[in-house]
Amino acid sequence: MKISREEVEHVARLARLALQPEELEAMTGQMDAILGYVDKLNELDTEGIEPTAHAVPMENAFRADEVKPSIGIERAQQNAPATDGSCFKVPKVIE
C-alpha cells in the first residue's frame, strides 16, 4: 500500500474536506492506485536536474507602485454568503 486510510483522513483534514466514510474508503483505493502509477518517475535519475516551476523562463515582474481604481466593496461583496455591509461575516473564531 502506498497510502493508508489514516493518511487519507489526515490529508482530507489538511485540505479542509469533510469526506464521508464511504468517500474516504473509495479515495484510499484510488489514491493508492494513482500513487503507484506515479512511482514510475523514480525510474529516472534526476540527480543534478534543475526543477521547472514554469515553462517560460521568467524574471520577477515588477511594476510601479501606483494607486489605480479597484473593484469596490459593493462589487467585491456581491457574491458573499454573508456580510455586514462592509466586512465578510464568518462563524465565530475566538470564544
Partner 1 sequence: MQLNDLTISQLREKLASGETTSVELTKAFLARIAATNDKVNSFITVCEAEALAAAAEADQRIAAGNAAPMTGIPLAVKDIFNTLDVRTTCGSKILDNYVSPYDATAIAKLREQGAVIIGKLNMDEFAMGSSNENSAAGPVKNPWDLERVPGGSSGGSAAAIAAGQALATLGTDTGGSIRQPASHCGVVGLKPTYGRVSRYGVIAYASSLDQVGPLARNVEDCATLLGAVAGYDPMDSTSVDTPVPDYLATLKDGVKGKKIGLPKEYFIDGLDADVKKAVDAAIATYKGLGAEIVEVSLPHTDYAVACYYLIATAEASSNLARYDGVRYGVRKDEGEGLIGMYSQTRAAGFGDEVKRRIMLGTYALSSGYYDAYYLKAQKVRTLIRQDFLDAFEKVDLLLTPVAPTPAFKIGEKTDDPLQMYLSDIFTIPLNLAGLCGISLPCGNSSEGLPIGLQLLGKPFAEAEILQAAWAFENTTDFGGKLASL
Please report whether residue 4 would count as binding partner 1 according to CB under 8 A: no
The SS3 assignment for 63 reads coil
What is the footprint of partner 1 within residues 38-57 (CB under 8 A)? 38-44, 46, 49-56
**Nearer residue to partner 1 within complex by CB, 85 or 91:** 91
Strand partners, 83: 88
Please report whether residue 73 would count as binding partner 1 according to CB under 8 A: no
The CA-to-CA distance between both ends of the chain, in Å, stands at 42
- Give the C-alpha separation, 79 to 71, whole Å: 13
- Give the C-alpha separation, 88 to 95, whole Å: 19
What is the footprint of partner 1 within residues 10-29 (CB under 8 A)? 11-20, 23, 27
- Give the C-alpha separation, 89 to 95, whole Å: 16
Footprint of partner 1 (CB under 8 A)? 3, 7-8, 11-20, 23, 27, 30-31, 33-35, 37-44, 46, 49-56, 58, 61, 63, 71, 75-82, 88, 90-93
